[in-house]
Amino acid sequence: MVQPIKLSEIVSSRKRRNSANDKANNGTDSESEIDISSTDDEAEENNKVDDEEEIVNIDFDFYNGNPDVDFHAMKNLSRQLLGPQESNKIQLSNLADLILKSPTTTIKTDGTESDPYCFLSFIDYKENKDSDYAKYLHSKIDSKLTMFFNNIDNSSNKTCSLVMSERLINMPPEVVPPLYKITLEDVTTALGDDKHYDFYVIVSRKYEVNFDMDNDDTETRKDRTISNDRSKKRVKNDEVDYFHEEDRFFEKHAKVHFESESRKGIISSYMVMDHDGLVKSISELEQEIATW
């Protein structure tokens, strides 16, 4: 286990108020003993105190992936990463096994037996090129990605890693730089001789900020086929944001980058990076975080 780091998380005042109310309701005082003589000024003062945000320190511990504990979490997080449509095309159980046998780091807050809130895994492409996930990326996504994998297959000295990373939506991006640094060190140890991968294929996702789910649900399948051009224009014109803050920098340094059409406001993103680009992206993200 790696030494934990401490980050701050903002907890809403509503939670504090609910906690205080629970204590009052569970107390031993009877209703006749409750003081109801507070003035309006006192009530306003109490509301101001309640509205103040509370900072809670949380220890995030970094662990190696544990097949005995993390299997179901890897399946669920992979399904979240790939989305409901694409994840149905992949054998998620086999993918979870593949992740957990590769250099993988998880982040937990309640010991090694607890569920991970986040993971990062580097899967060796050439060693696992016959896996369901590698075949899916090779032939089911885009001709650009197929061409890239064909070049890797025909090269005896070029290496490639399939990068899988996902986290719960409220995980702070501050965990990302140490997460990558730790796992890249594990990769170097696994490859030996201070080696690293030459290329990395990263799958991620973005979302349309102003997407209207109700309108999308009312479209028929025929309507969606006819309106492909309009969908592309909507993605281009509307604001698109990132689930993963690091993707802003990955896109900047990617050798290959392309995206799927929007599906219910979600856009799949595919990036191919070399090692220098990956390291530079993480360094720039770390510098950006330092300014927050």
Residue 37 belongs to a domain:
no
Residue 109 belongs to a domain:
no
Q: Which domain holds residue 262?
A: 121-290
Residue 23 belongs to a domain:
no
pLDDT confidence of residue 146: 97
Residue 29 belongs to a domain:
no
Structural domains counted in the chain: 1
Residue 283 belongs to a domain:
yes
Residue 36 belongs to a domain:
no
pLDDT confidence of residue 233: 39
Percent of the chain predicted with pLDDT > 90: 66
Residue 85 belongs to a domain:
no
Q: Is pLDDT of 5 > 80?
A: no
Q: Is pLDDT of 40 > 60?
A: no
pTM (2 decimals)? 0.75
Residue 83 belongs to a domain:
no
pLDDT confidence of residue 226: 35
Give the span between the Cα atoms of 177 and 134, in whole angstroms: 26
